[in-house]
Amino acid sequence: MPVADHLLEILRCPKSRGELIYFQAGTVEPAAFLFCPSSKLRYRIEDDIPVMLIDEAVALDDATCEALQSKARELGLL
C-alpha cells in the first residue's frame, strides 16, 4: 500500500520542515519516493515505509528539483 494521504498531511521534511511530494513508483523512477522542494532532498521508501533520515536522503541539484516540481504540477500533486 502506498504512503497514505493522511500520512502525507502530517509528514514533514526533517531538515526544512517543508511539505513533501509523494511520487508513486513508475511516475518518475521505478521506485516510489518523497521529495522536499524546500530542502532539495529525495527520501527513499522501503517496504512502503518512508526513510526520513537526513543522512540517508539524496541531495538534488537545481535542475532535478525543477524537473520534479514540473512533473508534480503535471500530475496534479501541487
- Within 13 Å and on the Cβ side, how many CA atoms surround 69? 14
Q: Tell me what pLDDT residue 65 has.
A: 98
Considering the chain, what percentage of its residues have pLDDT values greater than 70?
Answer: 95
Q: Tell me what pLDDT residue 1 has.
A: 47
- CATH classification (class only), 5-74: mainly beta
Give the model confidence (pLDDT) of 61-75 as tens digits.
Answer: 999 999 999 999 999
Domain boundaries defined on the chain: 5-74
Pairing of strands 41-46, 33-36: antiparallel
